[in-house]
């Protein structure tokens, strides 16, 4: 375990769970977060400043809300770039724009620091169990050298290519997640209003061509009144969708299917569900469809 020290920046919903997994694996974790209590909950050592964390950590991991926050922490005033040293590695576990990732890669490379983008999938439950899927971009040798830090948090690590490839893959995956969640929410509300049994409807979907992650893993809980709170919020889902449409614009790809989920999660935020888990989109659609709820308490 020699030199296996991690500085973790951003110990919120996902970062805190990943940091706890690292601590449980016997890795020394130093944390830095705007909410000091989050560092304590993760069981990490608390850095008094970003400078202290960077100077004490051969490997630095970030889990932040968006590219703006990542850029501020890395290239902003008194950011990681100010204090990092040649030979260090920075891993960005956030959902971020690949164009921003590649720019930061260049800035850090100029100082002899490796920058790896590692999109994550699996949600809070997988983060808690250490069974996330990681989609990774960056230098292959640098990625291989930190496999020990991925082992406690992920059951699957796929190297997608050079800098930005991990974050690009993450946006593509999140778009499909958003489509399936919004579409399934819509048809479940329709089924409820048509008088269909929710459990039987899911049974049909899950043995038919309509099966998807939402029908398999989300709605069996939602129809019982459990929204799986603690996962990706509606506002963050919308942020990811905007990043996806920006990516397609950069690539010159027509985005013909983004309007539906953007409208669905935008509606959820407008109706007050933005800070709740994105699964609440089903209640937003239910609200404008006559007050439909999939679960009716006895």
Total Cβ atoms within 10 A of residue 86: 8
Retrieve residue 287's tokens: 């609200």
SS3 13: coil
- Respond yes or no: is residue 193 known to be catalytic: no
Distance of alpha carbon 260 from alpha carbon 226, whole angstroms: 25
Spell out the residues 6+ positions from residue 208 whose beta carbon is closer than 8 angstroms to its own: none
Retrieve residue 123's tokens: 């949600």
Name the active-site residue from 170, 192, 235, 239. 170
Distance of alpha carbon 119 from alpha carbon 70, whole angstroms: 13
Retrieve residue 258's tokens: 């983004």
Distance of alpha carbon 89 from alpha carbon 108, whole angstroms: 9
SS3 31: strand
Distance of alpha carbon 68 from alpha carbon 45, whole angstroms: 26
Spell out the residues 6+ positions from residue 123 whose beta carbon is closer than 8 angstroms to its own: 228, 231, 232
Retrieve residue 145's tokens: 């050298």
CA dihedral angle for residue 106, residue 67, residue 124, residue 294, rounded to 10 degrees: -140
Annotated catalytic residues are 170
């Amino acid at each position: 375990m020699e030199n296996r020290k991690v500085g973790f920046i951003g110990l919120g919903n996902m970062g805190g769970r990943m940091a706890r997994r690292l601590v449980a694996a016997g890795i020394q974790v130093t944390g830095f977060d705007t909410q000091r209590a989050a560092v304590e909950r993760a069981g990490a050592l608390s850095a008094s400043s970003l400078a202290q964390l960077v100077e004490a950590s051969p490997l630095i991991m970030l889990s932040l809300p968006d590219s703006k926050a990542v850029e501020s922490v890395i290239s902003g005033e008194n950011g990681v770039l100010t204090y990092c040293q040649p030979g260090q590695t920075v891993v960005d576990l956030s959902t971020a724009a690949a164009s921003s990732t590649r720019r930061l890669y260049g800035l850090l490379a100029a100082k002899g620091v490796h920058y790896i983008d590692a999109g994550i999938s699996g949600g809070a439950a997988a983060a808690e169990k250490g069974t996330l899927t990681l989609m990774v971009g960056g230098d292959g040798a640098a990625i291989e050298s930190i496999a020990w830090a991925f082992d406690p948090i992920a059951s699957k690590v796929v190297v997608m290519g050079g800098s930005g490839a991990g974050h690009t893959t993450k946006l593509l995956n999140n778009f499909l997640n958003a489509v399936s969640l919004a579409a399934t929410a819509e048809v479940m509300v329709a089924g409820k209003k048509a008088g269909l049994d929710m459990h039987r409807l899911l049974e049909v979907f899950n043995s038919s061509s309509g099966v998807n992650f939402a029908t398999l893993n989300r709605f069996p809980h939602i129809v019982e009144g459990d929204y799986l709170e603690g996962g990706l919020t509606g506002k963050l889902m919308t942020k990811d969708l905007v990043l996806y449409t920006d990516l397609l614009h950069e690539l010159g790809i027509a985005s013909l299917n983004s309007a539906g989920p953007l409208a669905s999660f935008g509606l959820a935020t407008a109706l007050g569900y933005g800070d709740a888990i994105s699964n609440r989109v089903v209640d937003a659609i239910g609200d404008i469809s006559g007050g439909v709820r999939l679960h009716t308490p006895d």
